Amino acid sequence: MTSFRLDKGGLIDRSSELNFTFDGKAFTGHQGDTLASALIANGVHLMGRSFKYHRPRGVISAGASEPNALVELRDGGRKEANTRATMVELYDGLIANSQNRWPSLDFDLGAVNSLASSMFVAGFYYKTFMWPKSFWEKIYEPIIRKAAGLGTASKLPDPDKYEKAYAHCDMLVIGSGPTGLMAALAAARSGGRVILGDEGSALGGSLLSEREEIAGVSGYNWAQGVLAELASMPNVTLMPRTTVVGWFDGNIFGAIERVNDHVIAPSPYEPRQRYWRIIAKRAVLAAGAEERPVAFGGNDVPGVMLASAMRTYANRYAAAAGKSVVVFTGNDSGYRTARDMQAHGVHVEAIIDSRTESKADAGGVPVLRERMIANVSGGKGVAGVELTDHTKISCDAVAMSGGWSPIVNLACHRGAKPAWNEAILGFVPPETGKAFVAAGSAAGRMLLSECLADGASKGTLAGKALAVPKCRDEAFAVSPLWWVKQSTGKAFVDYQNDSTAKDLPLAAQEGYKDIELAKRYTTTGMATDQGKLGNVNAIAILAEATGKSIEQVGTTTFRPFYTPVAFGAFAGPFTGHHFQPVRKTPLHDWADELGAVFVETGLWMRSSWFPLAGEDWLASASREVLATRNGVGICDVSTLGKIDVQGRDAGAFLDRLYCNTFSTLAVGKARYGLMLREDGIVYDDGTTSRLADDHYVMTTTTANAARVMAQMEFAHQALFPELDVTYVSVTEQWAQMAVAGPKSRATLQKIVDDLVMSDETVPYMAAKEVTVLGGVPARLFRLSFSGEHAYELAVPADYGNMAARAICQAGEEFGIVPYGVEALSIMRVEKGHVAGGELNGTTTAADLGLGKMMSTKKDYIGRMMAMREGLTDTNRQCVVGIRPVEPGDRIRSGAHILKLDDKPSMANDQGYLSSVAWSPMLNMWIALALVSNGRARHGERVRVWDGLRGHETIGEICDPVHFDRENKRLHA
């Protein structure tokens, strides 16, 4: 027989033929196969090379714990490294490649590491490569990284989609074996909302792999009956291909649903994987138990595998691990493998049982008691075994069973440690409270009847527990079997990290006696499988080496995630253009039509400049400034935060928020306000207008809008709850535009209804409710950031684009230009208005030249702390203007100010340029700067030192108002 496919049985669809390649070689398998089972059925046992020694490796398990058979799955942008062949569902066109081998899996030069293996003992990196120190980074590490390792990641973008989703339930059942099915059925019949999740491609857990009977039918058929009932219930959600990977505070579980990993490529409308956050009122851990390997010489030769895995390959996948097998066990469950293999027509040479006696049924297979396998012979496949009494047996596969470990991981994710149970020789879950309980073999109940009963009882939400079906129990008796010390070959404890049984006593001898230290020194329990198979053996061996009990040694820390999770699943859909939402202003289309270049400001897209053909940003912004100052310009300022503040105490509340006073503001007027933090530093600024006695509308800077809103909510609710005030963001209700320049009034007059605009009807700092364009309600403010005679007009957002177009039309005769934030910024630097560069979280009101705004007549946030010595020191850096002495010189933002005679050094630092602009009005570069005691130094010449860019020039300190110091234009 060239094939190792059994003639009958298994849950595979023999009518299907799936073609796949492994290391470029073509194979076929069937629907229902995993990559591992299909390779075994094709007689391929060699699936990878080991991490350190490059030893040939095959599958150890048939499930999630697989440490050896890690492959690179798929290719191109879909390539996924370190994929467990035991979990990969076979599909037509599957491409897999082995890892960590060169030039080929069959002939790997790295295997010479095995010859030098005495070097590669525990801690070898630390011992060998520490000297000379400089060699580590440049020589040792790159070589080691190249030789030792796992698969490689694709450097191409992942073309597939990932999703995130929430689910809610009364009962989450994790695992769909006999325990899980009973728990889910009990909960579902109680009427609760139930989610049943299982990492397997099909639900049924161990019942898919074992030959046993429940309620007089095969376990498989019984499971199908229960699943059919569950599927018919509207309160039940069945989630196969879903691995619950973490248990978090609040009984929230993280789960990865592999929606489309089993097809060659997902439909363009579907995700590859979905990360679920399941909020469960209660949950049952029915994850089952994991069989342990045994440490003996050559226990990693391809063909040596867990006894339960060998059964699974035969029973579920109809794939024979060999033609002639030996079973090595220290407990009764190995006998099932011998019987099952024999039933499939595979020759079983013998059961090697380390114990003196056993009541288990050997099914006629010879049992060699009180003996163990010392060594396996063979390289890339098993040739035979040598027992501790030196008996030699020829065989081509070995099934091993060191006992069973309940899968406790999830129960330990929130910090509790599992407890050692001497009766079953395994760690059982800690007490985790009522909301999350373990059941069945995950809780250490190792008989089928116990599992069914425990599931029924733990799953019941209300009323009486479910009736438990009858079944026949397999024998379960176990004796310690960790390490065959008579072995001469390498006896691996942790396959994936190539750590051997001898490494642990060595670690203990060298002082690393604590399990957490021994783990890190030997690397046992690390990497993708996190010691699922090897940890208990390692703990037992370390216990013996240190003279402690297993309980005293304890386990390492269990952390999420139970199995490796793709980064894509964590990112979900929030990549590329969904990385963060985009916020568009109501004038976006208008600006876009006029060729605006947009800039991200927080989430907002703001029009930055409006270039004409051939203009760069500076030419465009300069033209916009000149046109505005000489005629009229229009700018989108909708992004400023706008908050409706209403109520009897609205004025009193604003008085607490701002350092200046608003309760005295007249209705119909606006006032500039400065807000401090409680530590006395300036927080935000903006104008607030009073629309009625009990109604203000305040504005915030674009950047701080959300934070200021949160600060208001805090101030009112936590600090001043006695105030009768309400506040709500109306930022998005209004499209707001600044219309600035000597022709701004003439322009707006053409669109305002029934109002003759003059200094009397709309005086400086007026705030009026008006209508425009034949009845559109609007708010008209006479405010100026540019220093020009200027207005801000707000219209309801849906009219925004039309209103802006109408203003442009109205201003056409005056040469109106749209201007962006670059021109806005130039004009404010020309006028010495402070903005983000100066309101930078380190400056006080006095630093900004606004000290007089601080009221002494009321309590407000920041008042007391602003009085501190350090914040009132006259040597503090305060806002000044800086101009280059040679008008042609360029100065740049961030450059430092030094005294003229000082050497360029930060020790001589006097301050820095916080905002720099090219002034088209003055034809030179100008700046605002924060300079020590700057106000007293106007006229002083200083060095402007840009150490970062290697540039230096001479500048002069001046008044921050560079242009129109008398504010003639504002009132023109």
> Is 756 a binder of other proteins (CB under 8 A)?
no
Kindly tell me which residue out of 103, 547, 581, 888 binds other proteins, with binding defined by CB under 8 A. 581
Closest to other proteins by CB, 646 or 701: 646
The residue type of 203 is L
- DSSP 8-state symbol, 149: -
CB of 723 to other proteins, least distance (A): 8
- Cα 213 to chain centroid, rounded: 44
Kindly tell me which residue out of 139, 574, 812, 900 binds other proteins, with binding defined by CB under 8 A. 574
Supply the DSSP string of 547-593, one letter for each residue: T--HHHH------S-SS---HHHHHTT-SGGGSS--EE-TTHHHHHH
CB of 273 to other proteins, least distance (A): 13
Give the closest residue to 834 by CA, choosing from 628, 682, 661.
682
Please list every residue from 704 through 723 that binds other proteins, using CB under 8 A.
Answer: 709-710, 713-714, 717-719, 721, 723
> Is 776 a binder of other proteins (CB under 8 A)?
yes
User: Binding-site residue total for other proteins (CB under 8 A)?
Assistant: 88
Closest to other proteins by CB, 217 or 867: 867
CB of 845 to other proteins, least distance (A): 16
**Binding region for other proteins (CB under 8 A) out of 90-98, 267-275, 340-348, 398-406:** 267-275
> Is 604 a binder of other proteins (CB under 8 A)?
yes
> Is 761 a binder of other proteins (CB under 8 A)?
no
Closest to other proteins by CB, 614 or 775: 775
- Burial (0-12, 13-18, 19+ Cβ within 10 Å), 266: middle
Cα–Cα distance list, 530 to 496, 507, 525, 561, 671 (Å): 9, 19, 5, 10, 63
> Is 724 a binder of other proteins (CB under 8 A)?
yes
Encoding tokens for residue 852? 């007089």
Q: Do strands 896-899 and 941-946 pair parallel, antiparallel, or not at all (unpaired)?
A: antiparallel
**Binding region for other proteins (CB under 8 A) out of 80-88, 341-349, 724-732, 941-949:** 724-732
> Is 842 a binder of other proteins (CB under 8 A)?
no
Q: What stretch of H or E contains 606? A: strand 604-609
> How many angstroms separate the CA atoms of 781 and 790, rounded?
9
- The CA-based angle 426-429-433, given to 5 degrees, is 165
Closest to other proteins by CB, 108 or 684: 684
> Is 264 a binder of other proteins (CB under 8 A)?
no
x-or-dash pattern for other proteins, window 782-811, by CB under 8 A? --------------xxxx-xx---------
Kindly tell me which residue out of 391, 575, 661, 733 binds other proteins, with binding defined by CB under 8 A. 733
Please list every residue from 231 through 260 that binds other proteins, using CB under 8 A.
Answer: 248-252
Q: Do strands 347-353 and 404-406 pair parallel, antiparallel, or not at all (unpaired)?
A: unpaired
CB of 214 to other proteins, least distance (A): 33
> Is 666 a binder of other proteins (CB under 8 A)?
yes
Residue with tokens 């995130």: 164
CB of 675 to other proteins, least distance (A): 16
Which residues are CB-contacts of 475 (< 8 A; sequence separation ≥ 6)?
Answer: 332, 335, 358, 359, 360, 361
Which residues are CB-contacts of 540 (< 8 A; sequence separation ≥ 6)?
Answer: 480, 482, 483, 550
CB of 71 to other proteins, least distance (A): 29
CB of 729 to other proteins, least distance (A): 8
x-or-dash pattern for other proteins, window 31-70, by CB under 8 A? ----------------------------------------
Closest to other proteins by CB, 6 or 715: 715
**Binding region for other proteins (CB under 8 A) out of 88-96, 365-373, 495-503, 861-869:** 861-869
Supply the DSSP string of 880-897, one letter for each residue: EEEEESSTT----TTPEE
> Is 461 a binder of other proteins (CB under 8 A)?
no
Kindly tell me which residue out of 6, 294, 320, 770 binds other proteins, with binding defined by CB under 8 A. 770
Please list every residue from 867 through 896 that binds other proteins, using CB under 8 A.
Answer: 867-868
Q: 879 - beta bridge partners?
A: 930
> Is 435 a binder of other proteins (CB under 8 A)?
no
> Is 692 a binder of other proteins (CB under 8 A)?
yes
3-class DSSP state for residue 200? coil
**Binding region for other proteins (CB under 8 A) out of 138-146, 540-548, 643-651, 910-918:** 643-651
Q: What stretch of H or E contains 453? A: helix 448-459
Kindly tell me which residue out of 586, 686, 820, 911 binds other proteins, with binding defined by CB under 8 A. 586
> Is 731 a binder of other proteins (CB under 8 A)?
yes
Closest to other proteins by CB, 224 or 726: 726
End-to-end CA distance of the chain: 102
CB of 462 to other proteins, least distance (A): 15
Q: Where are the alpha helices (DSSP H) in 494-563?
A: 503-509, 515-522, 535-546, 550-553
Please list every residue from 496 through 535 that binds other proteins, using CB under 8 A.
Answer: none
> Is 582 a binder of other proteins (CB under 8 A)?
yes
Kindly tell me which residue out of 14, 578, 903, 938 binds other proteins, with binding defined by CB under 8 A. 578
Cα–Cα distance list, 796 to 248, 633, 692, 775, 777 (Å): 45, 21, 19, 12, 7
CB of 18 to other proteins, least distance (A): 24
- Tell me phi and psi for residue 506, to 5 degrees: -65, -45
**Binding region for other proteins (CB under 8 A) out of 129-137, 300-308, 489-497, 570-578:** 570-578
**Binding region for other proteins (CB under 8 A) out of 481-489, 612-620, 691-699, 876-884:** 691-699
Kindly tell me which residue out of 462, 864, 885, 972 binds other proteins, with binding defined by CB under 8 A. 864
Give the closest residue to 44 by CA, choosing from 32, 55, 31, 28.
28
Q: Do strands 633-636 and 817-818 pair parallel, antiparallel, or not at all (unpaired)?
A: parallel
Q: What stretch of H or E contains 73? A: strand 70-73
CB of 176 to other proteins, least distance (A): 22
Please give the sequence-ordered ranges of beta strands (E in DSSP) within 887-970, or none if there are none: 896-899, 909-919, 924-932, 941-946, 951-958
Cα–Cα distance list, 279 to 3, 167, 347, 773 (Å): 47, 6, 49, 53
Per-residue exposure over 173-186, b if at least 16 CB sit within 10 Å of its own CB, e if not: bbbbbbbbbbbbbb
Q: Are 523 and 529 in contact (CB under 8 A)?
A: no
Cα–Cα distance list, 962 to 563, 629, 881, 966 (Å): 64, 14, 7, 11
CB of 818 to other proteins, least distance (A): 19
**Binding region for other proteins (CB under 8 A) out of 1-9, 486-494, 527-535, 578-586:** 578-586
x-or-dash pattern for other proteins, window 332-371, by CB under 8 A? ----------------------------------------
Kindly tell me which residue out of 547, 614, 775, 888 binds other proteins, with binding defined by CB under 8 A. 775
CB of 448 to other proteins, least distance (A): 35
x-or-dash pattern for other proteins, window 387-426, by CB under 8 A? ---------------------------x------------
The residue type of 366 is P
CA torsion angle for 181, 186, 189, 190 (degrees, to 10)? -150
x-or-dash pattern for other proteins, window 126-165, by CB under 8 A? -------------------------------------xxx
Give the closest residue to 597 by CA, choosing from 811, 818, 920.
818
> Is 851 a binder of other proteins (CB under 8 A)?
no
Kindly tell me which residue out of 49, 272, 490, 768 binds other proteins, with binding defined by CB under 8 A. 768
> How many angstroms separate the CA atoms of 540 and 506, rounded?
14
> How many angstroms separate the CA atoms of 851 and 871, rounded?
11
